[in-house]
Every structure is written in structure tokens, then in C-alpha cells.
Amino acid sequence: MQKILVVDDEDILRMLIEDTLEELEDVQIHTAEHGKEALEKLAADRFDLVILDYMMPEMTGVEVLGQLDEALKAATPIMMLTAKAQDTDRIRAQEAGARYFMPKPFSPMELLQIVEDILREQN
């Protein structure tokens, strides 16, 4: 069973992502509402993919990445999901450790396809 952690401060968007990804077989979806909760869950468990919002109150997605161990970032694919879709934002996210970058708004079907591809690579 593969595990995905979805981190987004917007309840509706987090539920949309969770509902979209529930179509995947043998995948558990875990959620976090903010960066601190994400760090706690990442310290306690291993995930096959992290979908991380860029802009959150108190701690941005880039700040979350900055607090993660390099080995964890190397072992865990991280997708930055954000309305900040400028090249500089993409570069900042990649330099912090995000391997994938998806701008908001996004197509749920496109998200599902990308997540399937990422999880397939993990096997």
C-alpha cells in the first residue's frame, strides 16, 4: 500500500485532491492543514509522495522543505502545488527539494495522471 500526504491550508482544495486521488488503488491518502502538521507527519511516517501547497500561513511549502532532512527529500518525491506559477517560484521550489511542480488551478484528471506516473516510478 502506497501513502500520499496532501498538505494544503484550504479545506475545499484539500478535499478535492483527496477525492480525486481516492480513485487510485492500494493508496492511502493522509492530509495536513499546515506546515507544522506536515513536518510532524513526515517525522512519524514514510510517504511515497507529498503534495505540498506553496502558500500557507505561518510556514510556506518552501519553508517546510527547508526543514526536511536531505535524505528524506531524496527518497520522497515532492510535488509543489501552487498558484505561484512564475519561473522564479518554480526554481525556488525545485532548489528547496520539490521534484514536481503543478500550478493552480489544475485539472483533477491531470493531477491523477501525474500522481499515477510518480507512484509507478516508485515501484
- Which CATH number fits the domain that encloses residue 9? 3.40.50.2300
Q: What percent of the chain has pLDDT over 90?
A: 89
What's the confidence (pLDDT) of residue 122? 81
pTM of the model: 0.95
CA 6 to chain centre: 5
Helix (H, G, I), strand (E, B) or coil at 77: coil
Which of 49, 53, 52 is closest to 28 using CA atoms?
49
Stretch (H or E) spanning 14: helix 11-21
Residues 81-106: what's their mean pLDDT?
A: 91
Q: Supply φ then ψ for residue 76, to 5 degrees.
A: -120, 115
Q: Copy the grid coordinates of residue 60.
A: 510556506
Q: Supply φ then ψ for residue 25, to 5 degrees.
A: -85, 145
Residue 18: domain span: 2-122
**Number of domain units in the chain:** 1
86 pLDDT more than 90: no
What's the confidence (pLDDT) of residue 79? 97
Residue where the block lists cell 481516492: 22
